[in-house]
Amino acid sequence: MKQFFTLLVTIVFLLPLQAQTCLPDSTLANADFPVQPPPYDPTTFPDGGINDTACINTPFDFVFSAVVGDTFNLGIAMLPLDSIRMPVSNAIVGIPTGLNYACNPPTCVFKKNTLGCIDLYGEITDNALVGEHELKISVQVFLNGSPQPINFVLPDGQLIMGKYNLVVREESFTNCATVSATSPFESYTTAQIVPNPAIGNATLEIRSEENNEAQLDLFSITGKKLMAQTIQINHGTNRIPLQLENLPEGLIVYVLSNEKGMISGKFSHLK
């Protein structure tokens, strides 16, 4: 059984929102340490930490892979785990302005015995941010049978040793981690729910540069799947009606995905 819990980050839910998202790495399902890479520690994990360098005015992308087991090590006992959850915003302390984060699953509710990942991405433009930034992540641990979470900041220096330090260098630095500013899916597709807030019914508006098929999923803000359907996307503007009468009120996350990637956002549903 896994003895640890995952490091996680959330998608920032802006309206409308397009966000790149990572894919879980199935090759890490049996990793000795369930967060890859683990925090840097000179004794325990000398190869851990964030090894990529972010540079000013250069797109940056770094992926944490996570494995959520079925138990949680409280230090004095192993307790059955239900899930690990992230706040929907401001979950990472110390993140430089210009960077953002997204997780998969997009609601950042990581159920036990599942794989997940967290994408730290964006572009830093302020030269004043050159230097080393220590990142800490706020998580909520839900144990089986308990409606109240245990709040943790990771790494905490007790159960989890080490550090996640992100180094930001000047634009002229020669060893920058460079990536495309957008994912392949985002490069040709945008999506939004209208109207927002929606009352009973709504329309998913999609603008695409090619024909393709995609999966549309709707989730509650706590991660419960509310609707799933396959849709055909045609070149140009697509307007797909959504029947929402049976969905609960509140914030709803929409996820549009296919083999090219994923874009997500949220909208309010009223009755």
Ordered by where they begin, the domains of the chain are 26-169 (2.60.40), 189-270 (2.60.40.2550)
**Could you tell me the CA-to-CA distances from 245 to 196, 200, 223 in Å, in that order?**
15, 5, 19
Q: Which of 117, 164, 149 is nearest to 261 (CA)?
A: 117
Per-residue pLDDT of the chain (271 residues; tens, 9 = 90+): 333 332 222 222 222 333 446 777 777 777 666 678 888 988 888 888 898 899 999 888 888 887 788 887 766 677 888 888 887 678 889 999 999 888 888 888 888 888 888 888 889 999 999 999 999 988 888 888 777 888 888 888 777 789 999 999 999 887 776 554 455 566 567 788 999 889 888 999 998 888 888 889 888 866 778 899 999 999 889 999 999 999 988 888 888 888 777 777 778 888 8
- E-only strand ranges, the chain: 35-36, 54-55, 60-68, 71-73, 78-85, 92-93, 99-104, 109-111, 114-122, 131-143, 150-154, 164-169, 189-199, 201-208, 212-220, 225-233, 236-243, 250-258, 261-270
pTM of the complete model? 0.61
Q: Which of 116, 130, 144 is nearest to 29 (CA)?
A: 116
pLDDT of residue 26: 73
Report the SS3 class of residue 122.
strand
Distance of CA 168 to the CA centre of its chain: 22
The count of residues in the chain is: 271
Q: CA 20, CA 11: separation in Å to the nearest integer?
A: 9
pLDDT of residue 140: 86
Cβ-count burial 34-68 (b if 16+ within 10 Å, e if not): bbbbbbbeeeeeeebbbebbbbbebbbbbbbbbbb
Task: Look up residue 150 and give its two tokens.
Answer: 């245990």
pLDDT of residue 19: 44
- Beta strands 250-258; 261-270: pairing state: antiparallel
| Start-end of H helices in 35-181 | none
pLDDT of residue 109: 86
